[in-house]
Structure formats: structure tokens, C-alpha cells
Amino acid sequence: MIESDLEKVIQAIEMPVCLSFDKVIPGEYDFVLQGKSRLWNIKVSFPEQFPYCLPSAKLLDTDLIGTLAHVNKNGTICLEEGDSVLVDYTRPLDIVCLFLNQIVSLLERMKLGIYQDELLDEFEGYFLPRKKINSFYYAQNKLEWIYLRQGNWNKNGQPKYIVPLFISDRNVSTPPQFSNIKNLGAFQRSKILHIPLDQSILPPANGENITSTYITAAKQHIDEKNRKALTKHLKKTSPHKLFFILLSMPRSSGERSQLLLRFDAEKSLPHPLLENNEEWSITPYSVKRHNKEYLLERGGAEKYLLDNKVAIIGCGSVGGEITTMLAKAGIGELTLVDHDILDADNIYRHRLGGSYLNFLPSEKTGAINAWKKVDALAAMLKQDLPHITVNSKPLLFEQVINDPDIINADVIVIAIGSPSVSLIINQTLKALGHQNVIYCWNEAAGCGGHSVAVNLNHSCLECLYEKDGRISAVNEISLVEPGQDISKNITGCAGVFTPFSYLDSSRTAEAAAQQAIDMLISNKHSVIMSWKGDNAHNLRVTERYENMPLKQEMNLSKNDQCRVCHG
């Protein structure tokens, strides 16, 4: 909105809560707003995108900063998550009036003592924006030494400046394959103290900075056990010009607020927790958490799946996608079985892309060796997710049937496109006493896909195929009639393949991944999930295809004629 139009909107404000306003600079106005028992002095800033987005507000009454929840150190008022607000851009005056009313309503509520817990819970957010530090450390109520990686930078001829890089636990190694963290191993590692407070404290009053006096007062909230440990640890510290401390305190949710505090001085001084010294310049850093407890919950994964183990047999287009979905759902350990290599033929319908193709010859043999699919998937997941165990087994199923990772799996997913091989695996798993198994596959040419979750004590895959004492080529959930020329051939016999797309595999994988989680959480089994696609290739289809909705869930009952279940 241009400035002249905005000014017309502001001049048109008529509401009891707005006592006066003054234009400070273009797009910025100071308002005096009437609350129930006091006046509120607010600065409102209108972005160029207004009225397609809300303005922002800042509290000018600095004596109240540090006492009100949802108001940070700079006075910025946190009214609402921006992406959850619907703005009617055709009514800018109404937007401003509603915004001012909401500001007053929020501030009036926050000045009540009953909301102080919200301010205590927002200790981290109060100091935003500020510098950030990555952390793999899970802060609990334990005073201890932890590690800080730091680097030295020399800029424009100035003395070297130490930059903190990331925090880690001394007793738990950081995931070496995650992202590019292994490249930080060359940077200096030093010990710093984690100081846990046993209760939350208010931030400095009046929007002031953290001072040595504030830290000295905070020490009073260290419990007796941790206080004794602190005294012991501080005996080992010598005076220095630079110290770092990780300060944490409890939140009502059970998590802990955290700040990394940097103490700088012109000369070497005793540790800032030994004595109060206002010569320290203190800089707070925001902690960006990478510990698994935080990442799983923040990312929508389920923490209680961390202890579960799932094996995926067949890591092609469908299996590769299932692997990724289960990993991102929070499964703690995956075992991948597939002897096949990743080829360029795969990359348009596989989770793995061209970055996992190899074009470089081996220095020893000169051969250009391809990645095994399971090895490439394991490398991808370990690089993308810091807290996951992936066991890759580039072998045939019959080579791993007695492998402990298969025996101990809570769920086994069979994502092999061949019905005959799947039926053999079904018999083997039944004979070995496995229970929770999911069989999934695509039908040809995008006509559909299926995921069948069974408890082998109740039913099995062969229950779908057994008919009149023999295995039928068409099972009761088939969508495409057998005996058709479906395969494609682009380069000769060696290049024969069955057409389906990445989207087809994703739909089947989604059903299988959901069934695996349902099995783990609620022991849900004996269920068939099918989806139907377009018959773009005009194949002969079954009666079920014609009558079935786009998605269908069916119960699977034990077949009285099934030789596996009754053998």
C-alpha cells in the first residue's frame, strides 16, 4: 500500500481503544491505546505488503519489558503465528482496528500474574533475535562439562575472533555421517559448563542485557547437589578473557529453556560463576536443538517409535520410498535387504537420484562400481537424519533369513514386485515363526497398488491366492487381468521392464508405511489397503477394478484352503 493510502486508513480510525496516534516515519505510527486500568504506548509498523499481511507492533513502555509474556527484549509483541491468520485485504481499516484491539487485549491479559508462567516458558524467545549455536546436547537437570566446538576467524586485519560452532555431549558421540558435521572435526574442542537451574527465572527487567549481577542472582537457583558439583568443577578453571556457559532452566512442558552465554573481557578474569564482575561483556546465543528428543517431536515423528525395528525386503521403487517414510516417521532402526544395484534406469522412479550414481573408476581395478541400493539408501538416511540406525544388507532374502536383524525385527515389509518370490518368502517367514508382515506391490501401468498387513498366526499372503487346492494367477484383490503383454522393451531383451511411475510407488509405499506404524502402535493386522489409478494403457482389468473406489480398505480372513496357514 502506498503511503498516502495508508495515511487515509490511519486517519479514518475511530475506536474507543485508540486515544491518539502520531506518524513517526513513513509506514510507522506511535499509538496511545486505552486499556482497562492503564494506557499502552505502542509503535505499529506497516510493511509494504500491507494489507496482504498484518502489521507488527512494539511496546514502547520499556519499564514493562521483561515482565509481560509474548513481549521480547526489543519490545516486539508476538500476537499470532503469521501463517495462521486470514487477512481480508479488501478492508484495510478493519484490519488495523482488529489488530489494535487484539494488541490491547493481549497486553491486558499478560499483565495479570497468572500468565507469568508463559513468560518463564518464553525465556529463550525473549532474547530473539540473536546469534545461534547448533547443539546435539540434551539438557537435563545435571551440572556437567560438555563440549563446544569453536573456530577462529580473522577479518579485515582485526584480531582473531572465536566463533562457537556447536555443542555436544561428552558421553554421547555426534552422528558422524549427518550432513557435513564430520568436516568440523578439525576445529578446536573445549569443555564448557552446563548450569541447570532448578526453577525458571524472569529475564532482566526493563529490556536490559544480561549482566554479571544477573548471573550471580541466577546461581541461587542451583540445587544443592549441582552446587557442590559446581564448586568442584570451578576449582579446575583458571582466569581467562573468554568463557562460555550453557544455562538451562525448566519449562512447564518438561523441556528446558537454554541459552549459551559468552563472557568476554579485556583482561583475564576468574570464571564468571566464581565472582561477580561487571567487566564481563555477556552475549546470549540461541540454541538450535539437534537432539533426537526435540527433532522427532518438532518434525512430527513419534518418539515412541524410536525403539522399534523394521526390516524392508526389497528396496526398489516401492521399498525405497517405504524406507524413507518409516525413517521420517521416527522408526529408530531399519534393516534393508536387496542385492540389486542402483542404475540410471532407476532414478526417475526411485527415492535415490543421480547423486548416488558412480562414474569414477576404482583406483585398484579400474572398474566403475555401482552403489548397491541398500548401501545408498543407508548413506542417504544417515546423512539426512542424525538419530537413526540403518543396517544395509546387499544380499538375497534367503541369505539373511537367520540374520539377527531380521529375527529381531518388529515388522517385516516385503516390497518385492514378484508374486512368486513373495509367496516363497511368505512360507519361509511363517515357518520361522515371524508374525507381523506387510506385503506390498504395484499393479502394472499405474492401474493401482496394494498393501496387505498380516499377522501370520491369523492369515497370510497365500490366503489371497489359494483357490480349489491350487494357487490362482488372479488373487481376489487383483486389478489387472493376467496374460497380457504389459512389459515394455526399449533397448532389447535386457531392457524389459514393467511400466509404473514414482507417484504410483509413493501411493503404495504410503499405504505400507501407515500399516507398519498401525501394527507397531495398535497391533492392527489382517487388513488390505488398495488404491486405483487410471487405466491409461487400456489394459484388461478385473471386475474389482471396475467396481472399486479410488481407495479401499478390506479385512483379510484366513482362507480355509490355504496350505500355508493349515499346513
| Interhelix angle 373-384/317-329, nearest 10 degrees | 20
CA nearest neighbour of 10 among 92, 102, 118: 92
Joined grid coordinates for residue 399: 541369505
pLDDT number for residue 80? 64
The pTM assigned to this predicted structure is: 0.83
Give residue 109's Cα distance to chain centre: 33
Query: For residue 234, what are the contacts with CB-CB under 8 A and spacing of at least 6?
Result: 271, 273, 274
Residue by residue, DSSP assigns 15-71 as -TTEEEEEEEETTEEEEEEE-SSSEEEEEEE--TTTTSS--EEEE--GGGTTTSTTB
CA nearest neighbour of 452 among 463, 444, 327, 329: 463
Q: How many other CB atoms are found less than 10 A from the CB of residue 30?
A: 15
* Burial zone of 257 (CB within 10 Å; 0-12 exposed, 13-18 middle, 19+ buried): buried
Q: Please report, in tens digits, the pLDDT of each residue of the chain (567 residues total).
A: 899 999 999 999 999 999 999 999 999 999 999 999 899 999 999 999 999 888 999 999 999 999 999 999 999 998 865 444 556 889 999 999 999 999 999 999 998 877 888 889 989 989 877 789 999 999 999 999 999 999 887 766 566 788 999 999 999 889 988 998 888 888 889 999 999 999 999 999 888 999 999 999 999 999 999 999 999 999 889 999 999 999 999 999 889 999 999 999 999 999 999 999 999 999 999 999 998 888 888 777 677 888 999 999 999 999 999 999 999 999 999 999 999 999 988 888 899 999 999 998 888 888 999 999 999 999 999 999 999 999 999 999 999 999 999 999 999 999 998 888 999 999 999 999 999 999 999 998 889 999 999 999 999 999 998 877 778 777 889 999 887 776 655 444 444 445 678 999 999 999 999 999 999 999 999 999 999 999 888 899 999 999 999 999 999 999 988 989 987
Cβ density class 93-103: b for 16+ within 10 Å, e for less: bebbbebbeeb
pLDDT number for residue 363? 86
Give residue 301's Cα distance to chain centre: 7
Between CA 293 and CA 546 the distance in angstroms is 47
Residue ranges per structural domain of the chain: 3-111, 130-290, 309-566
Query: Is 226 strand, coil or helix?
Result: helix
Asked whether the CA dihedral 115, 121, 123, 128 is positive or negative, the reply is negative
Question: 1.10.8.290, 3.10.110.10, 3.40.190.10, 3.40.350.10: which CATH number matches 3-111?
Answer: 3.10.110.10
Asked whether the CA dihedral 104, 108, 114, 119 is positive or negative, the reply is positive
Establish how many alpha carbons lie within 13 A of residue 29's alpha carbon, considering only the half-sphere containing its beta carbon. 22
Q: Give the chain's end-to-end CA distance (angstroms, integer).
A: 77
Question: 3.20.20.450, 3.40.440.10, 3.30.1490.120, 3.40.50.720: which CATH number matches 309-566?
Answer: 3.40.50.720
- Prior bond to 176 cis, omega within 30? no
Integer CA distances (angstroms), 364 to 125, 145, 360, 372, in order: 55, 46, 12, 19
Q: How many other CB atoms are found less than 10 A from the CB of residue 192?
A: 18
Alpha-carbon Rg for the chain, nearest whole angstrom, is: 31
Joined grid coordinates for residue 477: 484383490
- The C-alpha cell 558412480 sits at 358
Between CA 413 and CA 25 the distance in angstroms is 63
pLDDT number for residue 75? 94
Between CA 545 and CA 566 the distance in angstroms is 30
CA nearest neighbour of 398 among 282, 310, 313: 313
* Helices and strands (H, E) in the chain, number of each type: 14, 23
Q: Are 495 and 555 in contact (CB under 8 A)?
A: no
Integer CA distances (angstroms), 90 to 5, 56, 93, 95, 161, in order: 13, 19, 9, 9, 51
Beta strands 161-168 and 144-153 are: antiparallel
| E strands present in 407-532 | 411-414, 436-442, 448-455, 466-467, 470-471, 488-489, 496-497, 527-532
Joined grid coordinates for residue 318: 516401492
Joined grid coordinates for residue 292: 533426537
